Amino acid sequence: MIFVYYFFDFFNKKNEYKNNFIYINIQYLFIMIRLSYTHSKIILEKELYPLTIYGTYHKKKKHLFNCEHIVPQSYDQKVNGDLHLLFLSCKIINSLRNNYRFIDKIEKKDIYKFSYINYDINHQMIIKPYCNDSYECAFSHQKRSFLPPIYSRGIIARSLLYYHEKYKNHNVLDKVIDYHLLKTWNEKYKVTEAEYFRNSQIYEFQRNINPFIYYV
């Protein structure tokens, strides 16, 4: 009941807490139970709503998915058990993302430096060295950059805003994404019901929420 009070009290007062996308005076929302990565991975795969960051999840194909760390483990291992920073992902795309920086667009001069990921009518993955039509996401080993799917950009933004506010590791965040792009994605790509539901589920396991996930 305490959680319910804080949760809805926060949403009712969100305009008081919000200042240029940075929330203040809500540190109590970040008090959490720290889980091991092994425990969190089991919860992610078996207990949480299957909100995938890359690829479309299906129970019959769950062996094709694994755990994506929005903040790469190579940058900050201390947070690898935080469920707000872990998502299901297609194994192949997760591997291709590596620890590359998220970007919003590909400059014209760089189009041949990227590989483009899409799916055929049978939902089989296709990776092309050049794509002149639609594609789901793209990556470049040369540029060390990853262009995520449109449907995951808001999810990524709110997860990283949570990281920025809770862990205060600004140097790591800058390696992962440009902060101004982060704010743009958060504003442009609105919270989905799946995000909202997953956020409440995570509270049941680690007793904190991501306050950047709210209804407007």
This prediction's pTM: 0.85
Partners of 18 in the β-ladder: 23
Query: Going along 27-173, which residue ranges are E strands?
Result: 52-54, 65-69, 86-90, 101-102, 115-119, 125-128, 137-140, 145-147
Ordered per-residue pLDDT tens for the chain, 216 residues: 334 434 444 444 444 434 433 343 455 456 788 999 999 999 999 999 999 999 887 777 888 899 999 999 999 999 999 999 999 999 999 999 999 999 999 999 999 999 999 987 677 889 998 877 778 999 999 999 999 999 999 999 999 999 999 999 999 999 999 999 999 999 999 999 999 999 999 999 999 999 999 754
